[in-house]
Chains A and B, each alone.
Chain A
Amino acid sequence: MTITGTETSVAALWGALDSRIAGGGRFAGLSAAQRKGALTLSVHVDVPDGVDTLETVLPARALGYPALTPRLGAAFWYERVIHDQTGIVPEGRIRLAPLIRAGNPHDHALPRHVSGYGLFTIPHGPVRSGVFESMEYLVETPGEAIPHLNMRIFYKHRGIAGRFTGMPPADGVLLAERTEGIASVAHALAFCHAIEAIAGCQVPAEAALVRVIHAELERIANHLDVAMRLADAAGLAVATARFALHKERVMRVVSALCGSRFGRGVVVPGGISALPREHPAALLPELRKLEKQVTSDAAVLMGTSSFLDRLRGTGPLTADRAREHGALGPIGKASGCSDDSRRTRPYDAYPLLDIQPAPEHRDGDAQARLRVRINETAQAFRLIQEAAGELPGQLSPASPVLRSLPDGRAVGWAEAPQGEVIYDVTIEAGQIACCQPRSASFHNLVLMHEVFAGDILTDFPFIEASFGLSVAGAAL
C-alpha cells in the first residue's frame, strides 16, 4: 500500500508501467486528479503483495498527453473517463466519445462503426424491458450476427468520486457502500482498508472474521443472482424460481446478522460497527441446509442439456485477451487469469483461512464463467463455516480501533463478487481530500466489446448475465 514511484514525464510513466507488467504485474487502473494544485496521472498496478501506484504530474496548462491506449488496450475506458472529467486529450488513435459525461440529449444520431449491405443499429436501452439498471447497448447487426457492439453508460453517472471529497471517513464508508449497491461489503472493505493503512491500525481478530463472513455471504448472493438470470434467459422457470429462493434465503441470513439485506452499516474504518445481532454460528444449520440445496440444484442445472446448449461456446473471451486486459473476478478466472486478491494479497481474516486456487478454466465462455461461480459459491460456504468456527462463543463488544488519522494516501482493495475493487484514498486534516474508487464492473464491462465473435442476438441475454456486472459500479 505505497506510492511507489513518481515519474518525470508521461512517457517515463508508461515506461515504468511496461516494466512492472513485464515483471508480472497487472494493469489495474488509470485516473487523473488534482493533487497539490496540479493535475496528476496515477496508474495502479497489481503486484503479488500489494497494489503499486505510479504517478506523474502533467505540465501546467497541458491540453493533452500521449495516450496509453495504443500501447495497452485495457486503458481505453480509463482514458475516456479522464477526457470526460478534465477535458485533457489523450493523444493517439483513440475514440473519445463521451463515456460518463452525458452527451446532448437531443442527439439521436446513432454512431455506426461497421458498414455493409443491410446493416442497422438496434438501440437497446437505457430503459430496458424487465428490471435492469439503465445503460444503452447499440447493437450493430445485419439481423442475426453482432459484428459490433457499443455501450453507453453515462445515463447513470452520479459523480460518486467527487462526492467523497470533504467527507469524514465515517461518512465516506456509507457512500462507498452505495457506490455499487450489490457489492456493498466489498466496497466498504476496500475503502476501509485504505483508511486503516493510512492510520496504521490492525483490525481486531473477531471483527476481521465477521467481515469475511459478510463478504462471502455477499459473494454467494451475487453468484446465485447470476445463476438465476441465466436460468431465466434459458426459460427454465423452475430453476429460475429455485435460485431466486436460495438468493432470498441468503439475504435473510445477512439481515438476521446485521439488519440490512446487503450487509450495509457493518464495516467501518477500524473494524465493525456493532456485534452481529445473532452469533454467526447460530446461523450455520440454516446455511448448511442452504448449501446442500444450492449444490444439488447447481448440479442439476449443469446437467440440463437445453441450458448448457445455450452456454457452451457463448461469449468466449480468449485467455490471451483476458491476460492482456487483466480481466478480473469470475470473468478472468474463466479465461485463465486466476488472480484473486483474497489469496494473493490477503486481508482481514483471509490469511487464517484455507482458500484454494480456483480450478483451471481456459474456455472463457459463459459456461466456464458459471462453473467458476458455482465453485466460488461452494468455497464461500466453507469459508463462512471456518470463520464462524474461529469466532469465540462469547463475542467481545465491537469497538473500532481507529483512534487518530494522520494525513496520507493509501490504496485499499477487496475481492468483490465481480472481481477486485480498488480505492485510492487521500486524507488531509482528518477528511477525505481525494477518493478514486475503481470497481471490477468498470474494468470488465469494456470486455463485452470483444466476446460477440460468432454469437447472435439471442445469445445476448446469456452473455450479459454471465458477466454479472453492475452498471452503477461502472458509471459511478
Chain B
Amino acid sequence: MSIWVLRGLRDGVATTRWPHRPDTYADAWRGPATVRARAAGVTGVSGLCPSGAIEERDGLARVDQGKCILCGRCVTERPDVFMWSAGATGRHAAAVTRQALVVPETPETDQAIAAARTALAARTAALRRSVHIRHVDAGSDGSEEWEIQALLGPVYDIHRLGIFITASPRHADVLLVTGCGTPGMTGPLRTTYDGMPDPKVVIAVGTDAASGGLLGDRLGGVPSGVPVDVWVPGSPPSPFAILNALLIATGKLGTQKGLGK
C-alpha cells in the first residue's frame, strides 16, 4: 500500500488554481458559436445549422447557444458572420435565463438576467460553503457524465471548494441534469427533484439538456416540470464550464466570499 502513498506525491499538485487564478486551458476553451459584432445585412444563414440554432431576421443573425452542438459548420461556411466563443468560464459561459443563451443579447434580456440573478442569489444565500450535488441523467449520450466525473478528479477537484456529490436527493442542494429528456426519465427526474429540500437549484448541463440538441425535434431537454435555474451550453460542456455554472448557481462566482482560501 505504501507505494501508492509515494505515487500520490510523485507529480506534485495537478489541481487547477481556478477560480482564484486564471487557467489557460479554461481560457483557451472553444465554446458555442456566436455572432461577430457588426455582422449586418446577413442572408442565407438560417439553413446552415443542423440543429436549427441560427435565426435570421432583418439582416441580423442570432445564435441560440442552447441549441448549438459545436459542430462548427457555421464558422467554417460563414466566417464573416460567425465565430467560436472563447473561454469556458465567466458569466457568459452559463445563462440564468433560457433567453440569455440567444446571442447577441437584447436589452430586454439584460433586465431579465439581472432579475433572475438577484432571485437566484437570494435563494442560494443559505448554501454558503457546503454544497451537495445530485446528478440525474435524463437521456444523455454519456459524455456529460464523463465531464461531471472529471470534476471529482485531481485536476478540477470540487471538494476543495466545498462541493460534493451526494447519493441521496434528501441531502442535495443542486440537481445537475444531463441529457435530452427521454420519456422514460421524466418520472424519475421529477421524483428526484421533489425529493430535494428547499432551497434547491437545477442546472441543465449541456446542449442536450437545454434543448434536446440534434434530437430537439422530438425531445426538448429538461422537461417543464423541473424548473431550470442555470443553463450550460456545450456538447458536452467543458468540466470548467460545469464548475463555473455550479459557482454561479451557488452565488460563489464574482464575489470571493464563500470560496475559502
Contact = CB atoms under 8 A, between A and B. Distances in A.
Interface of A: 102, 105, 126-127, 129-134, 154-160, 163, 170-171, 174-175, 178-182, 184, 225, 236, 238-239, 241-242, 244-245, 247-248, 251-252, 259-262, 264-265, 273-274, 293, 297, 300, 304, 306, 470-473
Contacts of B138: 134
Nearest to B186: A105
A134 B185 contact: yes
Given A181-B142, A252-B25, 19 more contacts: A126-B185, A127-B169, A131-B165, A156-B137, A156-B185, A174-B214, A178-B235, A181-B236, A238-B7, A238-B8, A239-B7, A242-B7, A261-B147, A262-B143, A265-B71, A300-B7, A306-B1, A470-B142, A473-B142
A181 B208 CA distance: 12
A462 B168 CA distance: 22
B140 interface: yes
Contacts of B165: 130-131
Given A105-B187, A245-B153, A181 B70 contact: no
Contacts of A259: 30, 72, 84
B197 interface: no
Interface of B: 1, 3-5, 7-8, 11, 14, 25, 30, 50, 69-73, 76, 84, 135-150, 152-155, 165, 167-169, 179-180, 182-189, 191-192, 208, 213-215, 217-219, 235-236, 238
A158 B69 contact: no
30 contacts: A127-B188, A130-B165, A155-B184, A156-B184, A157-B182, A158-B182, A158-B215, A159-B218, A160-B215, A163-B215, A180-B142, A238-B5, A241-B153, A242-B7, A244-B154, A244-B155, A245-B14, A245-B154, A252-B25, A260-B30, A261-B236, A264-B70, A265-B70, A265-B72, A293-B11, A300-B3, A304-B4, A306-B1, A471-B142, A472-B140
A179 B184 contact: no
Contact of A133 (B4, B142, B152): B142
A159 B217 CA distance: 11
A264 B70 CA distance: 9
B52 to A, nearest CB: 11
A265 B76 CA distance: 12
A154 B4 contact: no
Q: Which 10 A-B pairs have the closest CB atoms?
A: A181-B143, A129-B167, A181-B141, A244-B153, A155-B184, A102-B184, A472-B142, A238-B8, A181-B142, A238-B4
Contacts of A155: 139, 182, 184-185, 188
A264 B235 contact: yes
A127 B8 contact: no
A251 B238 CA distance: 11
Contacts of B139: 134, 155-158
A178 B4 CA distance: 37
A187 to B, nearest CB: 10
Contact of A179 (B141, B153, B155): B141
Contacts of A102: 182-184
B214 A163 contact: yes
A130 B167 contact: yes
Given A132-B137, A265-B72, A158 B180 contact: yes
A467 B78 CA distance: 44
A195 to B, nearest CB: 16
Contacts of B235: 178, 264
A242 B5 CA distance: 11
A264 B141 CA distance: 13
B155 A245 contact: yes
Contact of B70 (A242, A260, A274): A260
A131 B219 contact: no
Contact of B188 (A134, A157, A248, A293): A134
B205 to A, nearest CB: 11
Interface centre among A155, A174, A182, A293 (most CB of B within 10 A): A155
Contact of A236 (B4, B69, B73, B137): B4
A303 B154 CA distance: 23
B53 to A, nearest CB: 12
Contacts of B11: 245, 293
A383 B253 CA distance: 43
A154 B184 CA distance: 6
A133 B137 contact: yes
Nearest to B180: A158
Given A102-B184, A134-B137, A472-B141, A248 B3 contact: no
Contacts of B30: 259-260
Contacts of A248: 150, 153, 155
A225 B150 CA distance: 10
A178 B214 contact: yes
A241 B154 contact: yes
A61 B153 CA distance: 55
A126 to B, nearest CB: 5
A20 B138 CA distance: 40
A273 B72 CA distance: 10
A318 B232 CA distance: 45
Nearest to A242: B7
Contacts of A159: 215, 218-219
Contacts of B191: 127
Given A155-B184, A244-B154, A264-B70, A182 B4 contact: no
A301 B70 CA distance: 38
Contacts of A261: 147, 236, 238
Nearest to B218: A159
A239 B50 contact: no
B69 A174 contact: yes
Contacts of B150: 244, 247-248, 251
A46 B208 CA distance: 34
A297 B7 contact: yes
Contacts of A184: 143
Contacts of B213: 178
